[in-house]
Amino acid sequence: MEGKIIIISAPSGSGKSTIIGRLMERGNIDMEFSVSATNRSPRGEEIDGRDYHFLTTEQFRSAIDGDEFVEYEEVYPGRYYGTLRSEIDARCAAGHNVILDIDVKGGVNVKRIFGPRAVSIFIMPPGIDELHRRLTGRATDSPEAIAERIGKAEYELTFAGEFDHVVVNDNLDTAVDEAETVITTFLAS
Ligand code: ADP
Ligand code: 5GP
């Protein structure tokens, strides 16, 4: 049977990567992480090919021209992120499920493309102040980048209703439990 797509979206700092990491650690769900491509530079401990495929802007453009993306977005001015067909097609064909950490617009687009083969989950932060605290606490972004991410968050929150499920990430363990239940139920359907 063809594998399914699990979409995790939220404003930056809401806890998408943390929740996906916990789900992977638990190992209760058969799914593989789709490594996106981006033209931004690696930050913190990020590793090329594990966290992202880090491309130059020219390489990213040539991947667009070569129709290598399922979807891509200019998430921040001049910074592109995209889901590569090569991360999804072969795995799904082999029966594996794939989980995507993508921005809110990308999440809505991927759900539209895959329809019932995909479940879309919006991770809701408890509030904008807490989002600010988390982005500051993560200590990976400059004050300007944090301001840019917060500025975008209010707009992104208006998309929550377009997702199949909303999981509030206040208590992390509760949020991971909820996400796991939603995904397990979807994969069994
Ligand atoms: P995203 O992938 O959505 O940008 P991250 O997973 O990087 O967000 O989380 C942003 C920061 O918030 C990280 O430092 C992470 O450890 C922290 N964090 C995530 N979930 C929670 C939570 N429920 N309570 C407190 N801090 C959290
Ligand atoms: P960050 O720079 O914090 O890693 O990611 C910024 C935003 O880009 C996040 O919302 C993240 O989910 C999103 N993103 C990562 N990969 C993709 C992708 O392949 N497509 C889209 N549309 N967004 C992505």
Is the distance from the beta carbon of residue 83 to the nearest atom of ligand 2 less than 6 Å? yes
pLDDT at residue 139, as a whole number: 84
Task: Provide the whole-model pTM.
Answer: 0.95
Q: What is the largest CA-CA distance in the chain?
A: 47
- Residue 178 alpha carbon to ligand 1 centre in Å: 16
- C-alpha pair distances (Å), 57 with each of 29, 31, 49, 62, 187: 35, 30, 17, 9, 36
Cα separation, 108 vs 110, whole angstroms:
6
Identify whether the C-beta of residue 6 lies closer than 8 Å to the C-beta of residue 119. Answer: yes
pLDDT at residue 1, as a whole number: 85
DSSP symbol at 13: T
CA-nearest residue for atom 22, ligand 2, is: 106
pLDDT at residue 43, as a whole number: 87
Is the distance from the beta carbon of residue 169 to the nearest atom of ligand 1 less than 6 Å? yes
pLDDT at residue 33, as a whole number: 95
**Three-class SS state of 134:** helix
Which of 9, 18, 20, 38 is the best mutation target for the ligand 2 pocket, counting ligand atoms within 8 Å of the beta carbon and taking the most? 38
Is the distance from the beta carbon of residue 96 to the nearest atom of ligand 1 less than 6 Å? no
| Mean pLDDT per 10-residue section of the chain, whose length is 189 residues | 96 94 95 96 92 97 97 94 95 95 96 97 95 90 90 94 97 98 96
- Residue 139 alpha carbon to ligand 1 centre in Å: 11
The residue ranges of DSSP E strands in the chain, in sequence order, are 5-9, 31-33, 37-38, 53-54, 69-76, 79-84, 97-101, 118-124, 165-168
Is the distance from the beta carbon of residue 120 to the nearest atom of ligand 1 less than 6 Å? no
